[in-house]
Structure 1
């Protein structure tokens, strides 16, 4: 099944003239990357010697017997908020935790986007509510009311 061709982004969140320039540079980069990929593929085919069946079987056996290569550590750097000790959370009452979860001091400015995609508009600087705190308070109230 042939893959759909990736269309260039429209950059609608930018002014029209800026969006046009960004789109043009994106297209130029895409063309350059495609040329590089085809050149790399062409070079790879030229330098790859033909392998006989016996050699192929031996290579497969060697790969099976070899120790699995260790996976490299992830290169993506994400900001993790400082963790609070569990004992401190247990000591504070539910009312205090609720007050803390909904206060302005619990707003965070780091991106809580696990996939790494950034949304339009950039950073507004106001911060986002810490949903982990809010959900834990909600869970505690449900546990208290229904148990």
Structure 2
């Protein structure tokens, strides 16, 4: 004997709350060419934004409550992933600026002044009595006696 499912007398009730319509942001930062980690994070953002647009379209078109709920969860996950990668890029840029300032400071601290170069006067022009001062400060007792 075959059992038949009773025909639904009423349409199935949607138990999930209505989910808001989500629109993509279109935000993208410019990434310097020389930073590999920033490039990877930027690529992850681009991929996540493409998926986000697809999921938003599915979410906005579907009428099935379970599918809408699943799409909503995926959209929230992708938005969190995008936010995390954007924060990561900001941190990496701050770190890059700090490293550049430290390098600049170290170059300034360890810069050797080279006299007799264009823009730098010879040392004796700056201190004309330097030879006499050096001679007076060093004791040439044995050399003076001869």
- So what's the TM-score if we normalise by structure 1? 0.30
- So what's the TM-score if we normalise by structure 2? 0.30
Bigger helix share: 2
Structure showing greater radius of gyration is: 2
